[in-house]
């Protein structure tokens, strides 16, 4: 059920992402990462404004201010002081409660946006001649499949080692080397069935899906681009190791941190202009 939802959401997010994030291909990494951070930060703020109870938040904030004032004015009066401190705490709690609805509304789009961004920033495409290990994970009950599965070569990729068949893990790996630029498909055959996996070569920035996922919502969220394998498929998932992208802003793993920082900064800068209470 969760997986089905994730798959449906991805089917909406993928075409939108493809259009909206297309400029990443020709912008410098730091610029596209910054732009996305700014735009999503401001959008989050706008969503927050219209999904939260702004007047209630403003009221709570005013009360907090009043209690802080009381605290500093009546430092010596233990009773007032304690009461103000209690109110401060409940005020803070209420602020958090007010943020819950907008957070809930924002959560799913945020996950989808991050999923789409990861396709661009988490890894970089292979270059011609650069080796990669491809791993096919097979279903637990299919012990013969480990021996039976084959990888068909084409004019874009060459198998240079393997397969190494790991029967204890129902896993088969090949070492491959790309020989032609482009968005290719690797073709695996088992018992008359063909399974495909995207294989991206060349280009500084291109959507690069590391894994065609299994029927598992978690994996589907992490790897949104390719259709997951059906739960009863012999082939459960196929993974290609792509190189890390070394960059502080738009590089492997770093991009998430950068996005978070930039979107927060953008939201705080935009806050007074959009007249939003946080």
Helix (H) or strand (E) holding 163: strand 157-166
| Count of residues near other proteins by CB under 8 A | 26
Q: How far is the CB of 6 from other proteins (least distance, A)?
A: 22
Q: Encoding tokens for residue 46?
A: 């706008």
Burial of 246 (0-12, 13-18, 19+ CB in 10 A): exposed
**What is the residue-wise DSSP string for 168-231?**
GGTEEEEEEEE-S-EEEEEEEEETTEEEEEEEEES-SS-----EE--S-HHHHHHS-SSPPPPT
Please select the residue that binds other proteins; options are 62, 85, 253, 268, rule is CB under 8 A: 253
Tell me which residues in 120-149 interact with other proteins (CB under 8 A): 123, 130-131, 133, 135
> Which of these ranges, 34-42, 97-105, 156-164, 224-232, lies near other proteins under the rule CB under 8 A?
156-164
Q: Which two tokens stand for residue 73?
A: 């004015």
Nearer of residues 54 and 135 to other proteins, judged by Cβ: 135
Among 39, 175, 206, 217, binds other proteins (CB under 8 A): 175
Under the criterion CB under 8 A, does residue 168 sit at the interface with other proteins?
A: yes
Dist CA 171 CA 235 (whole Å):
10
Q: Is 243 in the site for other proteins (CB under 8 A)?
A: yes
Is residue 229 part of the contact set for other proteins (CB under 8 A)?
A: no
**In this structure, how many other beta carbons lie within 10 angstroms of the beta carbon of residue 189?**
13
Site map (CB under 8 A) of other proteins, residues 8-47, x = contact: ----------------------------------------
Cβ-contact 190, 235 below 8 angstroms:
yes
Residue 167 sits in the site that holds other proteins (CB under 8 A): yes
Helix axes 29-51, 254-274, angle to 10 degrees: 50
Write out the residues near other proteins by the rule CB under 8 A. Answer: 123, 130-131, 133, 135, 161-169, 173-175, 241-244, 248, 253-254, 257-258
């Amino acid at each position: 059920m969760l997986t089905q939802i994730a798959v449906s959401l991805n089917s909406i997010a993928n075409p939108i992402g493809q259009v909206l994030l297309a400029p990443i291909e020709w912008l410098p990494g730091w610029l596209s990462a910054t732009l996305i951070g700014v735009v999503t930060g401001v959008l989050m703020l706008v969503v927050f404004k219209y999904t939260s109870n702004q007047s209630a938040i403003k009221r709570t904030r005013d009360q907090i201010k009043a209690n802080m004032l009381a605290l500093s004015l009546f430092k010596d009066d233990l009773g007032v002081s304690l009461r103000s401190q209690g109110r401060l705490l409940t005020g803070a709690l209420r602020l958090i409660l007010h943020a819950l609805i907008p957070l809930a509304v924002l959560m799913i789009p945020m996950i989808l946006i991050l999923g789409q961004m990861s396709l661009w920033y988490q890894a970089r495409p292979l270059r011609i001649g650069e080796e990669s290990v491809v791993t096919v994970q097979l279903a637990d009950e299919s012990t013969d499949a480990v021996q039976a599965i084959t990888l068909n070569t084409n004019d874009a990729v060459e198998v240079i080692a393997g397969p190494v068949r790991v029967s204890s893990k129902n896993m088969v790996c090949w070492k491959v080397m790309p020989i032609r630029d482009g968005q290719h498909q690797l073709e695996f055959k088992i018992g008359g069935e063909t399974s495909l996996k995207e294989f991206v070569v060349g280009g500084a920035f291109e959507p690069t899906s590391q894994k065609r996922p299994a029927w598992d919502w978690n994996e589907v969220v992490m790897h949104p681009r390719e259709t997951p394998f059906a739960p009863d498929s012999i082939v459960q998932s196929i993974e290609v190791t792509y190189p890390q992208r070394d960059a502080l802003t738009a590089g492997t793993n770093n991009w998430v941190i950068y996005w978070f920082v930039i979107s927060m900064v953008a939201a705080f800068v935009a806050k007074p202009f959009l007249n939003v209470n946080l």
